[in-house]
Structure 1
Amino acid sequence: MKTDDLIDMLSSGPDAGRPTRTPRAALLPLLGGLLASVAVMLMLLGVRSNLLEELTWAAFWSKLLFSLALAAAGWLAVKRLSAPGAATGQLTLYLGAPILLAWCGAAVLLANAAPELRAELFWGRTWRYCPLLIALISLPIFAAVLHIMRNRAPTRLRLAGGAAGFAAGASAAAVYCLHCPELSIAFVGFWYLLGILIPTALGALIGPRVLAW
């Protein structure tokens, strides 16, 4: 068989012309995962009673913007790593910049705080379960992202799985802000990040198996 004949046969096979998934088709699972994560948070934890008051505090917005910035970087990583050949050189900068800013803010906060208050600013009252709650809330979003990525063409499967977990974890951290009583950026910059890294590690672990195509 000639090469041209083989190419013609493959291009006219049963998979030829299969419509690619539209952005709306990807949006629906993501929206469902996000709503499910919000539902998990509401059922298990609930929204803070003084949330409206906290919306006027800069400390609340600092932890929310930290989470949203990491979520945006995570979703960009998911988008790039879902397709072969996409540029990924600047992802480290996008992922690292919010963390570096938070840590700088934490250093300034701790340096200016009274010595007897520094431990409380870092440990808070919820460090024992905060990371685990963020990881738990992230699971519906995590499953939705993996489902979407399976229908695309990721080639660096471990990195792609890690990106899926990071995006889901950071999105869950933003949802968790509606309940979390902690306001110190020293707490958020470490314990929130730890909660985000749990699904990141899980995604990197299962990525080669779940995302293989």
Structure 2
Amino acid sequence: MRTDDLIDALASDAQASRGRLSLLQRLAMVAGLGALAALGMLLAMLHTRPDLGEAVLGGMFWMKAAYTALLGVAGYMAVERLARPAAGVGRRGWILGGVVLGLFALVGAIQAMMSPDIQMALHMLRGHSWRTCSPRILMLSLPMLALGLWVVRGMAPTRPTLAGLAMGLFSGGVAATVYGLHCPEHTFTFVALWYSLGVLGTAALGALIGRWALRW
């Protein structure tokens, strides 16, 4: 059997095995369940920030949420393509993710450079939780990442490492958005570094696991 024939057969089998649920519906369920799992872990172990009611009235709370949500959307767009046998590499998702990361990093760098002194710049960079922010985002993303990789595996992807990377970006973006309910940090500089590292760390973990778990 030629490689193209094998891929076509896998695509047909994946289509039949999905039953009444499309790939888009499955990914939407993964996002919903992953967000609920992250929220449950946050409430059980970290709790929401005490000034949440006041914070939601401010612009930075929603800027953080928009940034991390867009990273999740970028991962979703990429994995939606990569989960299909012989599909494209999800260029639109990678482009969106790169643009969002680049813009936020640029704004964070500008904010730091405009600070009146080095101590203020360091405070904006480190905040009060720089040691725990990225690891917590990674921790909150693990249930969605595991579930997402299991779903993607059932679709027989032909680029397992990239598919795992995209699923990690998707999971990290959702988890980081939920983490914003706990995190009181409010500078672009902090978010551009530590939130990004948490999401990218999840993406790297997804690529590492996906290379093995999504291989066929």
Deviations 1:123-182 (A, max 9, x none): 111011111000000011111111110111211111111111111111100000000011
State the distance in 2 between where 1:168 and 1:27 align.
12
State the distance in 2 between where 1:145 and 1:16 align.
16
User: 1:105 corresponds to which residue?
Assistant: 107
Aligned residues: 202
* Structure 2 unaligned residues grouped into runs of 5+: none
1:1-213 maps to which residues of 2 (within 5 A)?
18-21=16-19, 22-23=21-22, 24-83=25-84, 84-86=86-88, 88-115=90-117, 116-213=119-216
State the distance in 2 between where 1:17 and 1:200 align.
26
State the distance in 2 between where 1:91 and 1:27 align.
16
Amino acid paired to 1:112: M
| Shift of residue 16, structure 1, vs aligned partner | 10
State the distance in 1 between where 2:16 and 2:106 align.
49
Moved more, 182-191 or 27-36: 27-36
* Structure 1 unaligned residues grouped into runs of 5+: none
| Shift of residue 194, structure 1, vs aligned partner | 0.7
State the distance in 2 between where 1:144 and 1:16 align.
17
Amino acid paired to 1:99: L
State the distance in 2 between where 1:149 and 1:93 align.
21
> Normalising by structure 1, what TM-score?
0.87
> Normalising by structure 2, what TM-score?
0.85
**Whose Rg is larger?**
1
| Shift of residue 106, structure 1, vs aligned partner | 1.1
State the distance in 1 between where 2:154 and 2:129 align.
38
Deviations 1:23-62 (A, max 9, x none): 3455444422321111011111111121121112122121
Identity of aligned residues (%): 34
Moved more, 25-34 or 203-212: 25-34
